Amino acid sequence: MKRLLIILLLSALAAADASAQCVAGNCQNGQGTYVYPSGAKYIGNFRNGEIHGVGVCYYTDGSKYSGEWKSRYPDGKGTKTYSDGTKRTGMWKKGKPVDDQGNILEEYIAGKKEEQQDDGTNIQSGCLSGDCKNGTGVFAYPDGSKYEGEFQNGKFEGNGTFYFANNDKYVGQFKENYPHGAGARYHADGSVENGEWREGEFVGSSLIESGKIGCIQGDCTDGKGTYIFKEGSAKYVGDFKNGQPHGFGICTYANGDRYRGEWADGAFMGKGTLYLRDGTEVTGYWREGEFIGKDQPIDYQPVFTQPAPALPVDVDIKVWAVVIGVASYDHMPVLRYTDDDAYRFYAFLKSLEGGALPDDQVRILIDEEATRDNILGNVNEIFNKAGANDLVIFYFSGHGLNGSFLPIDFDGYNNKINHEEIAGLFNKCKAKYKLCLADACHSGSLFAMRSGEGEPALTQYYQSLSKSVAGTALIMSSKAEETSLESAGLRQGVFSHFLIRGLKGEADKNKDKIVSVQELYDFIYDNVRTYTGNRQSPVIKGTYDPAMPVAVQR
C-alpha cells in the first residue's frame, strides 16, 4: 500500500466499440438510441459520446426517466415514472432526487428500491468515443468514473485526464494505466497534489541535491550523516549503524510526509511522530515501521527488544476461510493494492500466529481466479466443512455496487455476487462463529456511491449480511460517506494493517490469549481513527455475540 490517498486507476479494456451499443442515430454528437449492458434503452441527446442533454430512458424494471441528463446521469429537471405507476417531477443530481438546495432526498430514495438499482447498473460505459486501443479516446466505467486521453495497446499511455467518481480529477501523464510522470490530482475539497507520480503514487518533487544520491554528508555507516535515497524519494538526517538509520533521525519524503523520532535497522522503531502532508500528525510508538499506539509499551527500551512469544492455548476451534482480492478489473477502475492486502491476510492465516491453517481449511482467489462461480463454489465447499464449534471467515477486498460484491468477470452488469447469496452460504454452514470482513480500503470498494451517502445507505447495502445471518459479525473498513485510506508508512491499507495486527494478538485487551470480535473491532476502530486523524471510522454490524472468538494466540 502506498499512501493516504485513494488510487482509483484502471486496467484498460480491449475497448468495446461504442457502435455495438449505439443502435440508431448519432451517439457521438447528436440524437441517437443507446442500449445499456442491462438492456435498458435511452433515446435522446449525446455530446462527445456521452449521454448529455435531454432524453428518455426506459429501464428494465418498467420504470422510466424523462428529462435532463449530464455526463451519463439524470441531472437537472426531469420526471421519473416508477414501475408501480407513481411519478416524481423535480430536480435530480447524478441520478438521485434532490431538493431545491441540491440536498439528496434520502427518505424518498429509501422508499424506491428500484431507483437504487437503476443508479448503479445502468450508467453508460465502455469506449464512448475515439480509439481506445491505439489512439485518443474516452472510456467510461459503471461507477461514474471516466478517462479521456491517449491509449496504447488498450491501456492508458501518454497524456490524459481521469475523472474519479468522487469528483476528484487527475491531469497528467500515464503509463500502463497509472499516473506516471508529471501530473496533478485535483481533489473535490480544493486541495491539489502537483508533481511527480510513479506507478500511481504521488512522490512529490525529487530531493536530490546537486545531482547526488547516497551519503552526501557525514558518516552514513556508523555515525551521523545525511543520506539521499534512490531517485530522490526521501532524505534522512541522523544517526547510522551498520549503514542503516539507527538511533535518532529525521526523514523527509518527496511527497511531503516527514518522520522525526527513533529508528532501528532502517525502520521507525520506538518513539516518534509521522507528519503527513495534509497536516495530520501521528505521534506515539513504532515497531519495525508499524505504529503500535500512543501509549508507551511496557517493554519499551531505547534499544528495542521483542516481547516473549505467547504461550500456547488449547482452544478446540477450527478456522475455515475464503480470501478474495480483486484488483485488475476490466469493467471497473483497477484497484492498486487489494490483491496485496488479500495475500497479507492469507499469509497471516497460514502462519503460526494465524493458526497455520492447512490448505483444506483456507482458499485464496486473486484476480483471474476470483470469478463469480469460483468464489461461490469455494465458499460453499469450505463453509460446508466447518463443524458446529468452528469459525468461518469470508474476506473480500475489491469493488462493489448496490448490495453486491464484484468478481473479476463482472462485465458492467452481469456476474455480480449479491449479498443475499453470501448470506445464504453463511446461514447454510453449521459453524457457530461467522465473520465477514469487507475491506473497502480503496475508493469505490464495496460502496457504490460514497459522496453524499450516510448511514441509511450503508445499512441498505449491507442489511442482507448484517441482519439476516444469525451469529455473524460484519466489520467494514469505513462509513459510507468516508474515504478509506492507504499509508506510505504502512505500505498497505490502514484498515487491513490494523486488522491483521489485532488478530495477531494486539487486540487481546484482557490478556486471556483469545481475541474476541468486540476486542478486534475496538482495536481496529481506535487505531484507524488515531492513525487517520479521525477521518476514517470502521463499522461493525450484525447479530453477534461480542465475546465470539476470532483469533487465538498459540
Domain 126-204 bears CATH identifier 3.40.640.10:
no
Grid cell digits, residue 310: 505467547
Higher pLDDT, 544 or 413: 413
Higher pLDDT, 57 or 550: 57
* Distance between CA atoms of residues 272 and 285, nearest Å: 6
Instruction: Name which of 546, 511, 508, 200 is nearest 340 in CA terms.
Output: 200
The ranges assigned to domains in the chain are 22-121, 126-204, 214-253+257-293, 319-552
Cα(first)–Cα(last) distance of the chain, in Å? 28
State residue 113's pLDDT score. Answer: 52
Contacts for 101 with CB less than 8 Å, ≥ 6 apart: none
When pLDDT is averaged across residues 465-490 and rounded to a whole number, the result is 56
Where does residue 281 rank: exposed (0-12), middle (13-18), buried (19+ CB within 10 A)? Answer: exposed
* 16 — pLDDT class (breaks 50, 70, 90): very low
State residue 207's pLDDT score. Answer: 56
| pLDDT tens, residue by residue, 102-145 | 888 876 666 665 444 444 457 788 888 899 999 999 998 887 88
Classified as helix, coil or strand, 284 is strand
State residue 230's pLDDT score. Answer: 72
State residue 393's pLDDT score. Answer: 93
**Cα distances (angstroms) measured from residue 71 to each of 47, 141, 410, 449, 519:** 9, 12, 23, 16, 45
State residue 295's pLDDT score. Answer: 84
Residue type present at position 453:
E
What's the per-residue H, E or C state across 79-144? EEECCCCCEEEEEEECCEEECCCCCECHHHHHCCHHHHHHHHHCCCCEEEEECCCCEEEEEECCCC
pLDDT at 554 over 80: no
* Distance between CA atoms of residues 435 and 265, nearest Å: 37
Domain 319-552 bears CATH identifier 3.40.250.10:
no
Looking at CATH, the fold of the domain delimited by 22-121 is given as 2.20.110
State residue 172's pLDDT score. Answer: 94
* Contact between residue 477 and residue 495 where contact means Cβ atoms under 8 Å apart: yes
| pLDDT tens, residue by residue, 508-551 | 988 888 888 889 999 999 988 888 777 777 888 776 778 788 88
* Contact between residue 67 and residue 97 where contact means Cβ atoms under 8 Å apart: no
* 4 — pLDDT class (breaks 50, 70, 90): very low
- Give Cα 152 to chain centroid, integer Å: 27
22-121 with 319-552: one CATH topology? no
pLDDT at 30 over 90: yes
| pLDDT tens, residue by residue, 214-271 | 888 788 998 888 888 876 678 888 888 999 998 888 888 877 788 888 898 888 888 8
Q: What is the dihedral of CA 44, 48, 49, 54, to 10 degrees?
A: -20
- The pTM score is 0.63
When pLDDT is averaged across residues 337-356 and rounded to a whole number, the result is 82
Classified as helix, coil or strand, 29 is coil
* Contact between residue 193 and residue 5 where contact means Cβ atoms under 8 Å apart: yes
